[in-house]
Amino acid sequence: METIGAKLLSCCKLCPRNCGADRLGGERGRCRVTGADVLVAHFMLHHWEEPCISGPGGSGTVFFGGCGLRCMFCQNRVITGDKIGDYYSTSRLAGLFLSLQEQGADNINLVTPTHYAPQVAAAVSEARSLGLRLPVVWNSSGYEKAEIISGLRGIVDVYMPDFKYFSPGLARKFSSAPDYFEHASSAIGEMVRQTGTPVFDGRGMLLRGTIIRILVLPGHTLDAMKVIHYLYRTYGDDVILSIMGQYTPPAGMPYPELRRRLTQSEYDEVVEFAADIGVTRAYIQELGSASESFIPKFGFKPNTEQKD
């Protein structure tokens, strides 16, 4: 755990919450997890990510329990607590990565890994020493600290963060994180510095690069457009955008505008805006299958001219 430093777990400041929990001493952080081991809520060969991630073999996806951001509309809310799954040591987690590779996975996809950064980094290093050859994908909320991301250089090949909010007001309202833009923009800057322009193999699978997911929220298309404008102005085609329309309202949502699904016209407005400002490296979705068991249907593959 030397890459980032396991000692951070004794006064946890791995995410921007900076809660200072002594996780090694049994205290729970804002992420709701504790201890030195890693809570794995689920793992699978995932065929419904963006096409350059899923591939024919599926993405070797590991869902971690807990989350430091905890959005009110989280699609993975069932597993963001600490009640589902099993605890893995670093060596057992490395073994899981190797098992997914043996099953034909196209990559190792780490979902909500931020609060386990030291353990995950150590597990990836151990797995590579034992024969792991696949790209490693860091699939996160975007609510990260740039200094933690910098410690993942050489560990992570593909970053796939969300960029949830441009507005501090919306970030406060829905995620209790008014500093979301500040941290997400800084962390993504570090991600892009590490990965550079996306690199694909001959099958169109992403080997290195940064994909940024923008979930369009009902009634808040302007915020999504501001995020897209910022990202394209800052990075151009050095990142891939994934414009997502799969928002599904959870039971008990207190805010009226989020008690419904996104309309086709709202989604089209955002996609057309992206095209109008020059975005060409992007995924869009079909909205017809949005439900609690939503399987994304992606279209319009990004430009894949650069290949290894």
Residue 190 lies in a domain: yes
Vertex 176, ends 212 and 61: CA angle to 5°? Answer: 40
CB 212 within 8 A of CB 158: no
Q: Where are the alpha helices (DSSP H) in 56-211?
A: 90-102, 117-129, 146-150, 168-175, 180-195
What's residue 126's pLDDT?
Answer: 98
Rounded to the nearest integer, the mean pLDDT of the chain is 91
Structure tokens at 263: 């309309």
What's residue 282's pLDDT?
Answer: 95
Instruction: Output the CA–CA distances (angstroms, integers) from residue 295 to 65, 174, 282, 285, in the order listed.
Output: 21, 24, 18, 10
Report the pLDDT averaged over residues 258-267. Answer: 96
Residue 173 lies in a domain: yes
Structure tokens at 25: 């001493």
Q: Round to whole Å and give the CA distance between 121 and 123.
A: 5
- 137-174 pLDDT, tens digit each: 999 999 999 999 999 999 999 999 999 999 999 999 99
Which residues are 40's β-sheet partners? 64, 86
Report the pLDDT averaged over residues 297-301. Answer: 39
Dihedral sign for Cα atoms in the order 74, 78, 82, 88: negative
Residue 305 lies in a domain: no
Domain extent for 295: 31-299
What's residue 7's pLDDT?
Answer: 77
Residue 237 lies in a domain: yes
Residue 306 lies in a domain: no
CB 248 within 8 A of CB 294: yes
Taking the model in full, what pTM does it have?
Answer: 0.92
What's residue 308's pLDDT?
Answer: 37
Q: Round to whole Å and give the CA distance between 9 and 15.
A: 11
Which residues are 213's β-sheet partners? 162, 242
Q: How many domains does the chain have?
A: 1
Whether 290 shows a pLDDT value over 80: the answer reads: no
pLDDT bin (cut points 50, 70, 90) of residue 82 is: low
What CATH number corresponds to the domain at position 186? 3.20.20.70
Report the pLDDT averaged over residues 14-25. Answer: 95
pLDDT bin (cut points 50, 70, 90) of residue 300 is: very low
How far apart are the two ends of the chain, measured CA to CA in Å?
31
Residue 17 lies in a domain: no
Whether 119 shows a pLDDT value over 70: the answer reads: yes
Report the pLDDT averaged over residues 175-201. Answer: 98
Minimum mean pLDDT among 67-71, 94-98, 258-262, 290-294: which range?
290-294
Q: Is 279 exposed, middle or buried (0-12, 13-18, 19+ CB in 10 A)?
A: buried
Whether 288 shows a pLDDT value over 70: the answer reads: no
Report the pLDDT averaged over residues 103-120. Answer: 97
- Amino acid at site 147: E
Residue 3 lies in a domain: no
- 228-246 pLDDT, tens digit each: 999 999 999 999 999 999 9
Residue 6 lies in a domain: no
- Among 52, 76, 75, CA closest to 211: 52
CB atoms near residue 135 (< 10 Å): 21
The β-bridge relationship of strands 206-215 and 158-161 is parallel
